[in-house]
Structure 1
Amino acid sequence: MGFGDCFLLSFGYDDASARHILIDFGSTGMPDDTKVSLDAVAADIALQCGGALDIVVATHRHKDHISGFATGADGKGSGDVIRGLKPKRVIQPWTEAPDAPKGWKGPDGTKRANAFAAYQSSLENMHAVAQAVVDRLDRKDGFDPRWRLADRLRFVGEDNIKNLSAVKNLMTMAGAAKNNIFVYHGCVLDLSAILPNVTVHVLGPPTLQQSASIKTYAKSSDDYWLKARLLAALAATDNVSANKTSMLFPDLKSTDTFRKTKLPTEMRWVAERVDIAEQDQMLGIVTALDNVMNNTSVILLFEAGTKKLLFPGDAQLENWSYALQSDMADLLNDVDLYKVGHHGSLNATPKSMWKRFKKRGKTSTPERLKTVMSTMAGKHGGKNGAPTEVPRIPLVNELKADSTLFNTQDLKPTQLCQTITINLQ
């Protein structure tokens, strides 16, 4: 998927039947040399699951996780293909449920999961800000393309736009509304009628009543994949407030005759610095939104036979912190497969969680931990040499040293996927 996620999880049974779960399907950019497309991936999913999909999980609404669910005007889009597989259930975070009362903070733990309504107004505001940033980049007097900051702005901004077609498709592809399940930490998720002999634990996201921390983002933490001196450097930098949503010159329209190119030569450096300042301000805003959205990610732990498979979407530290302090934390100790969070970012695989994995170790470790990472280097993070590149190199080195790592960057340009087989006995 380039920079994106798409995992087809299949459970085989003694009678030769199988159950298929699609966890996310999206991308914000494929490698330049790839021969793969969303349509090709959708067709392969249909082939692999024999034309019938049992469950769809959309961990959160970022484009790199749901854009493949978008339908086409001709009814032949990748999302149309997935819809045609007639999934029996669609699982999403509690923040995605429709008809939320304004200001709602989520379920209180006494209601059924499929009756939840989400606090949508804040999400709508986030999407509006992201759209405003992309619109600013699309203006005729857009930022100088020589500044790579503009590329990163577009990437993060577009990732946070609502993806309306995909959102609507997810809401209706399972048929009756009761088949859409909105989950939160600790809720009961009984899928036994569809997925026999498999227990599914929901570790995240917490509701705002359980933990308000998912609304925030820690710039530095001992749980991040950073050395002490880099932690100190990040902590010392200024934060950009997500409340500062106005542009530097809100009344300046693209049709105005004033342009930086019309300035006297000796004054053009001022216009360039103003542009750079505006980009920095907008990048701080959309990055803050991006981090908050990641913390709405569904974290699912599948337990089948003697094996445990962990899929956390893009959950970051604030989402993980609640699970790691709960009575469900011990479930993580003997995980057999871990989907690396947020494409290998510095703050989505907390060190305290990684240390819990007892099956990590050198190549000779019995039943060694398997890790799967969908990512594309150079697409996100690492601005001005900051230690925020995705995937984070120290984390990748640790994954290689202490687990069997399956990395999509190792795929050939014509390869659609990697296949990992796990014996559940």
Structure 2
Amino acid sequence: MPASSVTVRMYDVGFGDAFLITVKQGERAWRMLVDCGVHSLGKARPLLDVVRAIISDLTEAAPPGTPPTLDVLVATHHHADHITGFAYDDWDAVHVGEVWVSFVEDETDDDAKKLKNGLVRAAKSLHTIVGRAPTALDGTSQTVALRLAGTLALNSLGNEDAMDRLLGRNGKHFLNIPKVSYLPDRIAELNVIRTSLPGVTVHVLGPSRDPDQLKRMNPPASAQWLAMQHTLEEETTHEPPGPLFDDIYSVTPDEVNQHIGIDLVSTLPSLNLGTLNDAATELLAAASILERSVNNTSIFFVLDVDGTRLVFVGDSQQGAWEHVLQDPAARALVKNPAFYKIGHHGSHNATPRDYVTNAIGNHGTYAMLPYGKVDQWGDIPNGNLLAALAEVNAQVVRADAPVADARVQVGPQNLWTEITFPGSD
């Protein structure tokens, strides 16, 4: 059997993800695209330019007379900064073997439908409230918080045109009708997926289907890169906390159960509302909780190419990571990787300290950071995380500031950066 090589190409969309993975064995190749989207506040270039670049790269790689082809397309979760690019009709010309989406998108799964409906309903409600709030609020800090809360809520809504294409609905499609898999499967054995190339396997490790774990959206203070929760607790006044919203936004307990959904309500104790000093900040806190909830529905997988392991986590945060790291078999798969896709653009609670210090290993792991500057998020990427990665000799490759080396290549106008891991005979 010819030796395998694997190349990961990260496209610079800005604050968003788009990764093309190519595995080669002699004349044979297998290709996977993981996400294609960008946040509205952090675009590095027009997203359509990136979509057309990806399709052009696939066209160039296809045998003469055949369409651009992907073996697998993974949409890790429905945040707009991961799927918006699939709304463009240019994808009509691309042949896709399989589409993998998080199990929460499965409309035939009652548990998934309940969770997804709760998340979407909460996002719509927050977005509506934020739109009305400026008439009752003033002040620069409040305006900034409201604007950010609105963009978070909008991002959590995703993009319906993109999801329609991914799932083959409402006239949106690829060149063909691909098989759609909702992952992870309830049958554990089906989460070890063998590809068309021998020795090339995908292990789907998350998200957890345990509702209690999905609700764990905030890490404990001891596990955060920045002890934000501890700081908030120190600032707590002894005044009794005021209401979350003005009376015009108040609802009865029955209305809460009917219209808001238990998934968002269950996070209320973690909000520490007594420490928040204005309604705009409260809206922002609620939008942030919602954002983390959707992040924890990300597909979390390991691509194993003849023993070279590549870890892709979407935007998984603390609860989703605990599901993986506390399972001995899953922890072994993510340990000592050749490649790590840094979760959630390098935010403080998307890469556990335990993983960096005790699992990545000190052997030169390449860690790719899909990132574009967003002024409101000055702590992303988190400096403590980047320093911890440097301490274990990880080679961080940033989309916004790529540096070529013996293994890393940078495309024209920094459109993409890629890493190739050669196989061994």
> Shift of residue 91 of structure 1?
0.6
Q: Which residue is equivalent to 2:315?
A: 314
Q: Which residue is equivalent to 2:420?
A: 421
Cα distance in 2 for partners of 1:301, 1:309 equals 6
Q: Which residue is equivalent to 2:15?
A: 3
CA gap 1:195/1:132 in 2 versus in 1, 3 angstroms? farther
Deviations along 1:91-137, one digit per CA (max 9) or x if unpaired, are: 11111111343xx2x5xxxxxxxxxx674321232232243145336
Q: Which amino acid aligns with 1:202?
A: V
Residue 217 of structure 2 aligns to a residue in which SS? Answer: coil
Q: Which residue is equivalent to 2:162?
A: 166
Is the aligned partner of 1:95 residue 2:139? no
CA gap 1:350/1:393 in 2 versus in 1, 3 angstroms? same
Cα distance in 1 for partners of 2:108, 2:75 equals 19
| Counterparts of residues 72-91 of structure 1 (less than 5 Å) | 77=88, 80-91=89-100
CA gap 1:202/1:192 in 2 versus in 1, 3 angstroms? closer
> Shift of residue 409 of structure 1?
1.7
CA gap 1:305/1:142 in 2 versus in 1, 3 angstroms? same
Equivalent in 346, 369, 372 of residue 373 of structure 1: 369
Cα distance in 2 for partners of 1:204, 1:292 equals 14
Q: Unaligned regions of 5+ residues in structure 2, if any? A: 1-12, 60-67, 237-242, 251-276, 403-410
Residue 405 of structure 1 aligns to a residue in which SS? Answer: strand
Q: Which residue is equivalent to 2:282?
A: 281
Q: Which amino acid aligns with 1:223?
A: A
Is the aligned partner of 1:64 residue 2:81? yes
Paired residues of 2:336 and 2:361 also in contact (CA < 8 A): yes
Q: Which amino acid aligns with 1:317?
A: Q
Q: Which residue is equivalent to 2:46?
A: 37
Paired residues of 2:347 and 2:382 also in contact (CA < 8 A): yes
Cα distance in 2 for partners of 1:9, 1:397 equals 27
Deviations along 1:196-240, one digit per CA (max 9) or x if unpaired, are: 4311111110102xx51211322533222136xx663245567xx
Q: Which residue is equivalent to 2:300?
A: 299
Is the aligned partner of 1:216 residue 2:212? no
Paired residues of 1:220 and 1:235 also in contact (CA < 8 A): no
> Shift of residue 245 of structure 1?
7.7
Q: Which residue is equivalent to 2:226?
A: 226
| Counterparts of residues 83-232 of structure 1 (less than 5 Å) | 83-101=92-110, 104=111, 119-136=115-132, 147-172=143-168, 173=173, 179-184=179-184, 186=188, 188-189=190-191, 191-192=193-194, 194-208=196-210, 212-218=212-218, 220-226=220-226, 232=230
Whose strand proportion is higher, 1 or 2?
2
Whose helix proportion is higher, 1 or 2?
2
Cα distance in 2 for partners of 1:231, 1:201 equals 34
Q: Which amino acid aligns with 1:170?
A: L
Q: Which amino acid aligns with 2:415?
A: L
Cα distance in 2 for partners of 1:57, 1:118 equals 22
> Shift of residue 176 of structure 1?
8.5
Paired residues of 1:203 and 1:301 also in contact (CA < 8 A): yes
Q: Which residue is equivalent to 2:55?
A: 46
> Shift of residue 335 of structure 1?
0.8
Cα distance in 1 for partners of 2:190, 2:213 equals 22
Paired residues of 2:336 and 2:359 also in contact (CA < 8 A): yes
> Shift of residue 287 of structure 1?
1.0
Instruction: Report sequence identity in percent.
Output: 23
Is the aligned partner of 1:403 residue 2:402? no
> Shift of residue 406 of structure 1?
0.5
Cα distance in 2 for partners of 1:134, 1:391 equals 26
Cα distance in 2 for partners of 1:4, 1:20 equals 20
Larger RCO: 1 or 2 (CA < 8 Å, sep 6+): 2
Q: Which amino acid aligns with 2:167?
A: M
Q: Which residue is equivalent to 1:265?
A: none
Cα distance in 2 for partners of 1:298, 1:418 equals 23
Equivalent in 384, 387, 394 of residue 394 of structure 1: 384
Deviations along 1:27-86, one digit per CA (max 9) or x if unpaired, are: 114657x4x32111111111222211221111111111111111xxxxxx2xx2234212
TM norm structure 2? 0.75
Q: Which residue is equivalent to 2:34?
A: 23
Residue 291 of structure 1 aligns to a residue in which SS? Answer: helix
Q: What value does the CA root-mean-square deviation take over the aligned residues?
A: 3.0
Paired residues of 1:338 and 1:372 also in contact (CA < 8 A): yes
CA gap 1:85/1:177 in 2 versus in 1, 3 angstroms? closer
| Counterparts of residues 231-250 of structure 1 (less than 5 Å) | 232-236=230-234, 249-250=248-249
CA gap 1:189/1:178 in 2 versus in 1, 3 angstroms? farther
Residue 53 of structure 2 aligns to a residue in which SS? Answer: helix
Residue 18 of structure 1 aligns to a residue in which SS? Answer: strand
Q: Which amino acid aligns with 2:383?
A: I
Q: Which residue is equivalent to 2:407?
A: none
CA gap 1:235/1:142 in 2 versus in 1, 3 angstroms? closer
Cα distance in 1 for partners of 2:356, 2:55 equals 34
Q: Which residue is equivalent to 2:330?
A: 328
> Shift of residue 369 of structure 1?
0.6
